[in-house]
Structure 1
Amino acid sequence: MSRLDSMMRRLAAQRDGIEWGLARIGGIDGDILDMGLGNGRTYDHLREHAGGRRIRVIDRVLQCHPSCVPPQEDFLEGEADAMLDRLAAEGARIALVHYDLGFGVKDRDVAEAARLSPRIARIMMPGGILVSGQPLEGFDPLPGPDTVAPDRYCFYRHAG
């Protein structure tokens, strides 16, 4: 598969996965957490489809498109460990997580996702949904949307 085809497949999986996750949190109070702002595409999509829910964002640095800059109070800039701890200390309750952090090195990305999983679990609402580009640990796996290949994205529910 060409890199272009792979990127298109990843972006479609993100879109379909986010919309799938949003459809499953209707009865769950809580905010949305976008882990990995990047250039802001998924954050922008969440803003358009989240039905007014607060969207918190974590990334190491703010470098997104100017039209996708989150409000200052919703952007947590720094390492994910510290930002997740900060959210927990604030009593944040998250209904949906979109996890898209990474260094671009598969083994390192998988290890970081596993390491961050307990911190993510601390802020999740019972029944909350996780849509992730990396495997997470300690959550109940779910079959995702039919449009997303099983090896492309991971889908979970937090038993709580």
Structure 2
Amino acid sequence: MSRLDSMLRRLTAQRDGLNWAAEQVGSLNGDVLDIGLGNGRTYDHLRETLPHRRVRVIDRVLQCHPSCVPPAADFLQGEARPMLEQLAHDAPSIVLAHYDLGFGVKEQDVAEAAALSPIIAAVMVPGGIVVSGQPLVGFVELAGPEGIPPGRYLFYRA
């Protein structure tokens, strides 16, 4: 499979997974969290898909497309751990989280996701959904939507 085809499959799985998760949390009260803003595509999709919810974002730096800059009050700039700890201190309020942090080295990415898993769990409301590109620990893994190959994207219930 070409790298282009692989990327298209990953992005399709991400979009379909986020849409599925948005349906799953429909009756829960709370906010959405995008962990890893990047260029802002996912943030843009989340705010369009869930216009009635506050979408908060964590990233080290703000370097997204100009049309995807979150409001200052919703952008938590810095390393993920202290930003998540700040959210957890305020009280669990996240119904849907998208985890998309990475260094580009699989072993390092998996280790970081495992290390952040407990603090991600601390910001989630019971029954909330986490959509992740990396394996997390301490959550109930869900099958996710049909059509997404196993392991392509991961889905968890808090």
TM-score by length of 1: 0.96
CA distance in 1, matches of 2:12, 2:63: 22
1:84-105 CA distance string (max 9 Å, x none): 0111122241000011110111
* Aligned residue in 1 for 2:93: 93
Q: Percent identity?
A: 67
CA distance in 2, matches of 1:51, 1:38: 20
Partner SS for 1:18 = helix
Q: Give the conservation status (yes or no) of the 8 Å contact 2:84–2:119.
A: yes
Partner SS for 2:116 = helix
The one-letter code of the counterpart of 1:77 is Q
TM-score by length of 2: 0.97
CA distance in 2, matches of 1:13, 1:98: 13
Map residues 15-34 of structure 1 onto 2, 5 A cutoff: 15-34=15-34
Q: 4+ residue stretches of structure 1 with deviation over 4 A? A: none
Partner SS for 2:151 = coil
Deviation at 1:148, TM superposition (A): 1.1
* Aligned residue in 2 for 1:151: 151
The one-letter code of the counterpart of 2:146 is D
Q: Say how many residue pairs are matched.
A: 158
Map residues 9-158 of structure 1 onto 2, 5 A cutoff: 9-158=9-158
Partner SS for 2:33 = strand
Unaligned segments of structure 1, at least 5 residues: none
Unaligned segments of structure 2, at least 5 residues: none
1:34-84 CA distance string (max 9 Å, x none): 011010000000011013100010011100000000000000111000100
Partner SS for 2:11 = helix
Deviation at 1:27, TM superposition (A): 1.3
